[in-house]
Amino acid sequence: MFEGRHRDEELRPRVLRGERNWWFLGPGGVAKLYSWHLGSDGAPTEDTIGWLGEQGMLRQPRRKNYSLTVLTTTHCNLGCSYCFQNLGQDEPGGTAPPRIAYTRLNSATIKRIIEFTRERMAAAGLEELCVTLFGGEPLLNPRGCLELLEAAAPLGLRYADMVSNGTLLTTVPLKRMYDLGLRGIQITFDGDEPEHDALRVKRTGGGTFDTIVRNIREVQEETKIAFSLRVNVTAENLGGIDRLVERLAERLKTTRCGIYFKIVGDVGIGYRNDVAASERLQQRFIDWNRRALACGFGVGRPREIVPCPACSFPGGRYGAVVSADGSLSSCWETAGKADWTVGSVFDGYQPEEVTEPRWTTCEEDFLNFADADAWQRFHDSVDAALLDDLVAMGRL
């Protein structure tokens, strides 16, 4: 029905059935469908495809931005057992699993990252830049964060965000980063306070929930930075997520926060998450989204599977992931791992015969799960329900 195309123009629309509506999710946006738009097989008819094309729903938007992810340090002050940057599991009860080698972003590497990025943007014909500050924990090197953002400005820095564990958020450096283009910070919660504090622990021991929530609130009071709250879902924390949403709503400015829920894959060495794509779990996700919407949180609109600008295109055509020492990886999941490097900002990408077996992609984690089809159906059902709820609330 939909013709396949080259990877950088790949069309992977989704047709979802909710309780109240049918939905089409394409590269050009979301459209509500009716029964007459579909054939007996549940797929859009040829006339519907023509109509969707006229509405721009099938057209991949022109890429305008180069996406640059930089690890300002590979060090982290937390000892989460499932972290993909761990090299092994700690002893039972321990809080300091072995991690990837320590490196820290410095001025010389920043200068070369900027030169490399300018070259790559020119080659791709892109005039705007989006930067993600990553780690480790990026705020263990606030000077590196500030220097990188300042150096990126002449390249047409459009937007910068940060992935942080939240324990080191302080208003003074973040105010300066906001002035330099930082607009959003992603923070992760591992369930409600008891479950979170059992898993997201300091490497020196002790929980982090209260510290993170207090820090977010203080930054909300002093800056306009928006927060994206990722809630990790595991077999151990399922029962407390309803209360987590309420607890966060009581303590944070929900209108300045988005929230979403993600299954933790078996990414850490020796870590396993025994969660199956069941109807019960599906209903829990639907209920969590509804609770979050009722509390005033932003809940992102579902969309088609969008290719990642950094890792979905061989050779990093539209983006790059750079570790603190200047080494290149295809994806943030392999950044800082020596066996997965695909080049460096000093020498460029290595030949395809070297990079091809090391090139991984972050696209939709559930595609890497053992039962990918079941997880696809799971996400389709959850997304269809969310779209139904958003339109019922007048938010779509």
pLDDT tens-digit profile of 45-85? Answer: 999 999 999 999 988 888 889 999 999 999 999 999 889 89
User: Euclidean distance between the first and final Cα of the chain, in Å?
Assistant: 27
Task: List the single range of 66-80, 335-349, 361-375 with lowest mean pLDDT.
Answer: 361-375
Side-chain-side CA neighbours of residue 367 (13 Å) = 6
CATH number for the domain harbouring residue 231: 3.20.20.70
**Phi/psi of residue 203, nearest 5 degrees:** -65, -20
318 residue type, one letter: Y
Residue 30 sits in the same domain as residue 173:
no
Residue 268 sits in the same domain as residue 132:
yes
DSSP 8-state assignment for residue 296: T
pLDDT tens-digit profile of 109-145? Answer: 999 999 999 999 999 999 999 999 999 999 999 999 9
List Cβ neighbours of 206 (8 Å cut-off, separation of 6 or more). Answer: none
Residue 9: its pLDDT value, please?
45
Q: Over 90: is that where the pLDDT of 1 sits?
A: no
Choosing from 15, 33, 61, the residue where a domain stops is 61
Identify the CA nearest to 282 among candidates 50, 18, 63: 18
User: Looking at the domain assignment, is residue 324 inside a domain?
Assistant: no
User: Looking at the domain assignment, is residue 351 inside a domain?
Assistant: no
Residue 132 sits in the same domain as residue 26:
no
Residue 395: its pLDDT value, please?
84
Residue 53 sits in the same domain as residue 93:
no
| Contact present, 57 and 26 (Cβ < 8 Å) | yes
- Strands of the sheet with 29-33, listed across from one edge: 14-17, 22-26, 29-33
Angstrom distance (rounded) from CA 303 to CA 377? 15
User: Looking at the domain assignment, is residue 320 inside a domain?
Assistant: no
Structural domain harbouring 260: 65-306+363-390
Identify the CA nearest to 6 among candidates 378, 387, 317, 366: 317
Residue labelled with tokens 């080659």: 123
pLDDT tens-digit profile of 220-269? Answer: 999 999 999 999 998 889 999 999 999 999 999 999 999 999 988 756 67
pTM given for the model: 0.93
Residue 24 sits in the same domain as residue 72:
no
Residue 365: its pLDDT value, please?
53
pLDDT top residue among 11 and 190 = 190
Residue 148 sits in the same domain as residue 255:
yes
Q: Over 50: is that where the pLDDT of 26 sits?
A: yes
User: Looking at the domain assignment, is residue 338 inside a domain?
Assistant: no
Q: How confident is the model at residue 91 (pLDDT cuts 50, 70, 90)?
A: confident
Residue 38 sits in the same domain as residue 91:
no
Q: What is the count of structural domains for the chain?
A: 2
**Average model confidence (pLDDT) for the chain?**
90
Q: Over 60: is that where the pLDDT of 2 sits?
A: no
User: Looking at the domain assignment, is residue 142 inside a domain?
Assistant: yes
Residue 49: its pLDDT value, please?
92
